[in-house]
Amino acid sequence: MNERTTLEIIAPTVEEAIQQGLEQLGLTADAVSVEVLDSGSKGLFGLGGRQVRVRLSVAPPPMPEIPAEKPEVSTGSGRGPKPASTKKADAKPKVKEQPKPRAEKKPVEAKPKPKPEPKPEPKREPKPAPQRTAITDQDAVLNTAEEVVSKLIYHMGMTAQVSAHFDDSDGADTHTIQVDVRGEDLSALIGRKAETLAAFQHVASLIVGKQTQQWVQVIVDVEGYRARREKQIRQLANRMADQVTKTGRKVTMEPMPSSERRVVHIELRGHPAVKTESAGEEPYRKVVILPKE
């Protein structure tokens, strides 16, 4: 009865060996004891390794305990001891007194506390929008813009002539700097749908603003590309406006950057029959041309 059932398993890992052994024995992990006979080896670069060898031992179930026999009490003649009586003959049964019912207490009604009157919140006045201060030393800012754009073009492996001037064509303040770039083979600076040019001028604006400690917007034009593109957008906006006027239905233009959408809004803001609005999210924001009600 004291024999133990054992099973040896060979597997790549100790966990796999234990799992295989438990499945073969049909037992759980708490019913066996595990002994690792050989922990194996990985070999060189995973070659020539030795597998794991594990022994699972199953202990026999414990023997049930036999209850000891109680000694018999003799009930013979007057020589043997008589069994003691569990109750006295003259003992009277005890009567439990029932507790007197307690008088029920009437619930005390809680008076509601008066709610505090809400204090009026102080009115918060909107903060005024930050005003752009006038650019000081305009010549120095223009020189900085030309120098920054020239260095960026040089680091891109290109050669070009750069000139800068303030753009006040639409009546804006002197915070927009127009930078004209002239040279050969500058198409890579423009990129597909002017995406490269937009990123280039964004970086240039950040650098110029940081060096001059003033808010400026740098607009970079390469070989007159922006002027040509602006002319195309104006012509397209007028054609779309004529279509809306004839059909009475709105027209949605292709996605454009903010600078090109601004050209459409400016071109059609005085149109007698149509109006414009922007819709969508960047970078797929579009201009919608609608008939006026």
Tokens of residue 189, six digits: 């600076």
pLDDT of the chain, 293 residues: tens digit per residue: 455 678 888 888 888 888 888 888 888 888 888 888 888 777 544 455 688 888 888 876 666 555 555 555 444 444 444 444 444 444 444 444 445 555 555 555 555 566 666 666 556 655 554 455 666 678 889 999 999 999 999 998 998 999 999 877 655 455 789 999 998 888 889 888 788 998 998 999 999 999 999 888 899 999 999 889 999 999 999 999 999 999 999 999 999 888 889 999 999 999 999 999 999 988 789 999 999 97
Domains recognised in the chain with CATH numbers: 5-58 (no CATH), 138-223 (3.30.300.20), 227-291 (3.30.1370.50)
Point out which residues pair with 32 in neighbouring strands: 58
Q: What is the pLDDT of residue 176?
A: 86
Amino acid letter at 197?
L
Q: What pLDDT score was predicted for residue 29?
A: 82
Give the model's pLDDT for residue 89. Answer: 42
Q: For residue 52, give the amino acid letter.
A: V
Cα(290)–Cα(277) distance, integer angstroms: 8
- In this structure, which long-range contacts are made by residues 282-287, counting pairs with CB atoms below 8 Å and at least 24 apart in sequence? 283/255, 283/257, 284/255, 285/255, 285/256, 285/258, 285/261, 286/252, 286/253, 286/254, 286/255, 286/256, 286/261, 287/237, 287/252, 287/253, 287/256, 287/261
d(Cα 55, Cα 39) in Å, to the nearest integer?
Answer: 12
Note the pTM of the prediction, 2 decimals.
0.47
- If phi > 0 it is left, if psi is from -120 to 50 it is alpha, else beta; for residue 278 that is beta
Q: From 262, 198, 254, select the one nearest 234 (Cα to Cα).
A: 262
State the Cα–Cα distance between residues 134 and 213, nearest whole angstrom.
12
Nearest CA to 236 among 293, 287, 291, 169?
Answer: 287
Q: Which residues, including other chains, have CB under 8 Å from residue 67's CB and lie 6 or more apart?
A: none
Residue 159 CA to residue 181 CA, distance in Å, equals: 10
The CA distance from 198 to 203, in Å, is: 9
